[in-house]
Amino acid sequence: MITLADFDPAIIEQYHITERKLKQVLRYVWLLQGDDAATLRDIAVGGYYGTSALLHEVVELDILLERDPRLLRRSSHAVQRFFRADEDAHCRALAVEYRYLQRIIWKLLGEEVSIGALIMANALPEDFDILVGSDEPLRLFEPDRKEITRASLLLERLRAMGKEMLL
């Protein structure tokens, strides 16, 4: 069972994430991605890696619920259609998620890694393109294969830390 205690308490506090919001996020992800949702598995990891996935979905869902308060009562197909029509919410969530990951990797692992490398290692290739073409104030440049591999290894280390390493 996933609880708020599984995540970075600073993010839980900063974004005012409640058990109700957590349940809403889990429902949203299920509606969007179905029973075999990779995002649900990422959230379930907990710890800092799981926090980044949760943070992305909280930011995205908050924006979408502001635009359609009844979103979570709609069909899976309707939620997917609404999501695809609103790239802005996903873009904002990506920026927040990857800034968080960059900061946490620096803080816990003492490693500096670019947001571009993190995105290319952990997200869909089109997510990088979405951010490059957005108004988000990120300095993105396309990383080389070596940077992406390094980012992938750092993310694996973070993921392996799990819930037990929360500060």
Whole-structure pTM value = 0.94
In a domain, 61, yes or no: yes
Is residue 111, in this structure, part of any structural domain at all?
A: yes
**Helix segments in 16-86, DSSP class H:** 19-33, 38-45, 47-67, 76-84
Total domain count for the chain? 1
Higher-confidence residue: 62 or 141? Answer: 62
147 within domain boundaries: yes
Instruction: Establish if 31 belongs to a structural domain.
Output: yes
Confidence (pLDDT) at 153:
97
Domain contains 158: yes
Domain with 92 in it: 4-162
Half-sphere exposure of 6 (CA within 13 A, CB side): 19
Cα 76 from Cα 69, distance rounded (Å): 15
Q: Is residue 167 situated within a structural domain?
A: no
Q: Is residue 26 included in any domain, yes or no?
A: yes
Per-residue pLDDT reduced to its tens digit, 113-159? 999 999 999 998 889 888 888 878 777 888 999 999 999 999 999 99
Is residue 152, in this structure, part of any structural domain at all? yes
60-74, 82-96, 129-143: segment of lowest average pLDDT: 129-143
